[in-house]
Amino acid sequence: MSRKMKAAFYQGPDNIGLKECDAPEAGPGELVIKVEACGICPSDVRMLKRLKRPTEELVGLAEMLKKIPGMGGHECAGKVVEIGEGVKGFEVGDDVVPDLSIRCGTCRFCRMGRANLCEKRIFSWYGGFAEYTKALARNTYKTPENATPEEVCFAEPLACVLNGNLRSKIKRGDDVAIVGAGPIGLMHLQLAKASGARVVVTDFIGERLGHAKELGADDIINPSREDATEKMKNLTEGKGADVVIVAVGNKKAIEQGIQMVAKEGLVNLFAGTYPVTSIEVDPNVIHYGEVTLTGSYDSDPWLFERAIKLIGLGIVKTKPLISHRLPLDEIAKGFKIVDSQSGLKVIIES
């Protein structure tokens, strides 16, 4: 089925725009999906910013990205319009959410059940910032009847948050501090509450803290107005947080998170730092306090499926995390909103 479509392409440093191109066609084992909603991830924005540095490696990456329709756009959902040979279990018209991350299944991490660390992982050559995308049928999941495309396109980031939640080993009654109240931090908040924790959220942006309160935060802290470490200890009878999840890639945020943790506590560095940075840590805090310092990255396919279920059940509410809905032809505007942190999640509708 031959058709044309509009899609976003990398067009130069900090420049993403639309072009007309051939829409994908379904090969064996594949589905073509009409994209109805696609979230802009901060990693999409960082990719454009990284390409300002003209190293040989990045020049090659830039040339590759110029050829990928819907560049990035891994948080998408839509409707099946074409089914490839050998695909069973799907019909044209099905509402679906695809996992565009393809794991090899054969490297040592995949064989260990840690597909999130796959050494040969690739992404689809079609992203979600387009009118159509395509995905492997085995990586595609049907949308719950009571969930909209804009809600369920959060499945990919929520799956990553689920991985972080599991690695943080939150127990009922734990005092949990979440540093950063962006969309990721607010999903961490909801999962921690569902795990039976008392949750404190910190952020410099008052509006985001307001959203945290609405979504169930027991307490909020604005570090620009009060000492976050002192406040956390006051809220926990002097001990600090049993679990700290740092949901923002920022040197000061990471250092603050380590200062807030209790003895025998755990600090999860959920977000990467760009550009690469170093942190200052008193090793005695970790040594004498027997503190666990860990990280979490990406997700496994079973967590992607579980994330869709949690959205469908309303255990994690994603609609309140949407601050902007924009048409595909305003994608450059959407990238600027995410880069300036002037909203929460930006959804591109096509």
What is the CATH number for 194?
3.40.50.720
Give pLDDT, residue 51.
Answer: 67
> Does 146 share its domain with 54?
yes
Diameter over CA atoms, the chain: 66
pLDDT of 215: 98
Do residue 239 and residue 188 come from a single domain?
Answer: yes
CA distance 103 to 106: 9
What are the distances in angstroms from CA 200 to CA 172, 258, 271?
Answer: 15, 15, 18
Distance CA 16, CA 21 (A): 15
CATH, residue 343? 3.90.180.10
The reported pLDDT for the residue numbered 15 is 86
CA atoms within 13 A on the CB side of 103: 22
* Under 8 Å between Cβ of 158 and 307: yes
Phi-psi group of 205: left, alpha or beta (phi > 0 → left; psi -120 to 50 → alpha; rest → beta): beta
Residues 213 and 190 in one domain: yes
Q: Quick one: 186 and 324 in the same domain?
A: no
* b/e sequence 311-337, b meaning 16+ C-beta within 10 Å: bbeeebbbeebbbbebebebbbebbeb
Residues of the chain whose pLDDT is less than 50?
none
Domain count, the chain: 2
Using alpha carbons only, give the angle 264, 267, 272 rounded to the nearest 5 degrees: 165
The verdict on 139 and 165 lying in the same domain is no
DSSP symbol at 55: -
Chain centre distance of CA 77: 14
* Confidence at residue 52, expressed as pLDDT on a 0 to 100 scale: 62
Residues 177 and 94 in one domain: no
Query: What pLDDT shows up at residue 55?
Result: 59
Q: 326-331, long-range: CB within 8 Å, 24+ apart, which pairs?
A: 328/6, 328/8, 328/18, 328/129, 328/130, 328/131, 329/6, 329/18, 331/8, 331/16, 331/17, 331/18, 331/40, 331/129
Chain length of the chain: 350
**Range(s) of the domain holding residue 166:** 159-295
Q: Is residue 300 part of a domain?
A: no
Say if 194 falls within a structural domain. Answer: yes
pLDDT of 56 reads: 58
How many CB atoms sit inside 10 A of residue 99's CB?
24
Task: Give the sign of the dihedral formed by CA 274, CA 276, CA 282, CA 288.
Answer: positive
Same domain, 164 and 276: yes
Residues 338 and 234 in one domain: no
pLDDT in tens, 27-72: 999 999 999 999 999 999 888 877 665 555 666 777 778 888 998 8
Q: What is the pLDDT of residues 65-75, one digit of tens each?
A: 888 899 889 99
Is position 306 within any domain?
A: no
Give the DSSP H or E segment for 159.
helix 155-168
**In 3D, which of 299, 322, 27, 300 has the Cα closest to residue 149?**
322
Predicted local confidence at residue 295, as pLDDT: 97
Same domain for 61 and 48: yes
- Whether 9 is covered by a domain: the verdict is yes
Pick the closest to residue 134 from 186, 91, 179, 96 (CA basis).
96
**Residues pairing with 347 in the sheet:** 39, 325
Do 201 and 223 lie in one domain? The reply is yes
Exposed, middle or buried: residue 125 (CB in 10 Å: 0-12, 13-18, 19+)?
A: middle
266 and 340, same structural domain?
Answer: no
Whether 200 and 126 share a structural domain: no
CB 180 within 8 Å of CB 161: no
C-alpha radius of gyration, the chain, whole number: 21
